[in-house]
């Protein structure tokens, strides 16, 4: 056995042990686990960025097995999700892919695992996690209604609004899922990449946020969806209505990001300090309808190019 082979096995064993321990802590101590999850992909990023795909697959199997032994069966889904995602990130780093490609790939992988967990909980345990969440929300609201009526307060109008609100929330579950997973993935990369860099892993960098600009075709997709929503009257709960409301929500989020990026662009153009840019970013998030309009104007009228040309 040569030195490189021995080093690969030793490093894999050490990182697998660290991973299994972290997964076990995540399962047994959920409050602490929510923080530990931010670095669970780290051992696999380190390993997969250095060694072959075959070696990474062996480490994935070892990590899942060790986590199941130490942390019980409940640890297996967690180990499967984070080991495969971490190995994918490491492999993409090794292939010199951009940080945006890594971010999108990792997000889609986590979404796949979330869907797998959701379907598995229904088929194997008979538990619908999403339905249970909305049941808890409805029960809490009904308790509030009962207490209000006992105090002589008329909440009939509020009850109607709540029913409509819950209906929209249920239809928007896919959008909220993808958005939440994307934010979680971004946090994981924000923490794991600097750590990996300390271990001599050549991690890519994002372009500055003020350079972010979506393709101009996105605004046409957005207009088509808006016009369709205005002129059509899809049946409530239908597949068409479900797709339409999620497309609209997703594209509105894209326009908000475009608007926030323009705020950063304007701050960069004017030489603002970081504190001022952060302040206006927070204001932009709070006043997101106006930020969305700003994003539409920026994308539709080439606002940045006009400002740059004017400034020359």
Residue 51 lies in a domain: yes
Whether 179 and 277 share a structural domain: no
151-191 pLDDT, tens digit each: 776 777 777 777 777 877 878 888 888 888 999 999 999 89
| Cα–Cα distance, 71 to 28 (Å, whole number) | 8
Query: What distance in Å separates the CA atoms of residue 72 and residue 233, rounded to the nearest whole number?
Result: 50
Q: Which residue has the tokens 């926030």?
A: 260
Do 13 and 157 lie in one domain? The reply is: yes
Residues 90, 156: one domain? Answer: yes
74, 80 contact by CB (below 8 A): no
3-state secondary structure 73-97: CCHHHHHHHHHHHHHHHHHHHHCCC
Condensed to tens digits (0 to 9), the pLDDT of residues 249-278 reads: 888 888 999 999 999 999 988 888 889 999
In this structure, the answer to whether residues 238 and 306 fall within a common structural domain is yes
Cα 54 to chain centroid, rounded: 28
| Model confidence pTM above 0.75 | yes
Residue 150 shares a structural domain with residue 291: no
Same domain flag for 224 and 91: no
Element (H or E) spanning 224, and its range? helix 217-231
Evaluate whether residue 203 is within a structural domain: no
pLDDT tens for 176-229 read 888 889 999 999 998 999 888 888 888 888 788 888 888 888 889 889 988 888
Residues 7 and 154 in one domain: yes
Q: Are residues 134 and 70 in the same domain?
A: yes
Residues 179 and 222 in one domain: no
Instruction: Please check whether residue 204 lies inside any domain of the structure.
Output: no
Q: What is the number of residues in the chain? A: 312
Residue with tokens 């579950």: 173
Nearest by Cα to 29 from 71, 86, 67:
71
pLDDT (mean) for 242-249: 84
Tens digit of each residue's pLDDT (9 = 90 or more) over 97-120: 888 889 989 999 999 998 888 888
As for how many domains the chain has, the answer is: 2
Smallest Cα–Cα separation from 258: which of 304, 206, 213, 289? 213
Higher pLDDT, 133 or 157: 133
Q: Give the end of a domain, one of 158, 179, 198.
A: 198
> What is the span of the domain harbouring residue 84?
3-198
């Amino acid at each position: 056995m040569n030195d490189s082979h021995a080093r690969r096995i030793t490093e894999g064993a050490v990182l697998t042990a660290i991973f299994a321990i972290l997964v076990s802590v995540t399962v047994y101590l959920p409050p602490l686990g929510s923080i530990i999850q931010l670095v669970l992909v780290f051992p696999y990023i380190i390993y997969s960025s250095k060694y072959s795909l075959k070696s990474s697959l062996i480490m994935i199997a070892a990590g899942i097995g060790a986590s199941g032994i130490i942390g019980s069966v409940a640890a297996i889904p967690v180990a499967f999700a984070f080991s495969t995602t971490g190995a994918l990130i490491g492999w993409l780093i090794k292939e010199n892919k951009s940080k945006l490609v890594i971010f999108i790939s990792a997000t889609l992988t986590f979404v796949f695992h979330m869907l797998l967990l959701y379907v598995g909980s229904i088929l194997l345990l008979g538990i619908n996690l999403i339905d249970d969440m909305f049941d808890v929300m409805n029960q809490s609201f009904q308790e509030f209604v009962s207490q209000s009526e006992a105090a002589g307060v008329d909440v009939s109008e509020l009850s109607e609004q709540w029913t409509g609100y819950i209906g929209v929330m249920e239809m928007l579950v896919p959008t909220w899922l993808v958005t939440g997973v994307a934010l979680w993935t971004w946090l994981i990369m924000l923490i794991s990449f600097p750590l990996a860099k300390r271990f001599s892993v050549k991690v890519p960098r994002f372009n500055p946020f003020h350079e972010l600009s979506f393709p101009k075709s996105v605004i046409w997709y957005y207009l088509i969806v808006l016009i369709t929503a205005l002129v059509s009257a899809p049946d409530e709960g239908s597949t068409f209505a479900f797709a339409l409301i999620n497309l609209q929500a997703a594209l509105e989020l894209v326009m908000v990001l475009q608007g926030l990026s323009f705020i950063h662009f304007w701050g960069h153009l004017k030489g603002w300090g970081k504190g001022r840019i952060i302040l206006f970013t927070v204001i932009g998030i709070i006043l997101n309808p106006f930020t969305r309009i700003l994003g539409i104007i920026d994308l539709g009228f080439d606002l940045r190019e006009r400002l740059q040309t004017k400034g020359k």
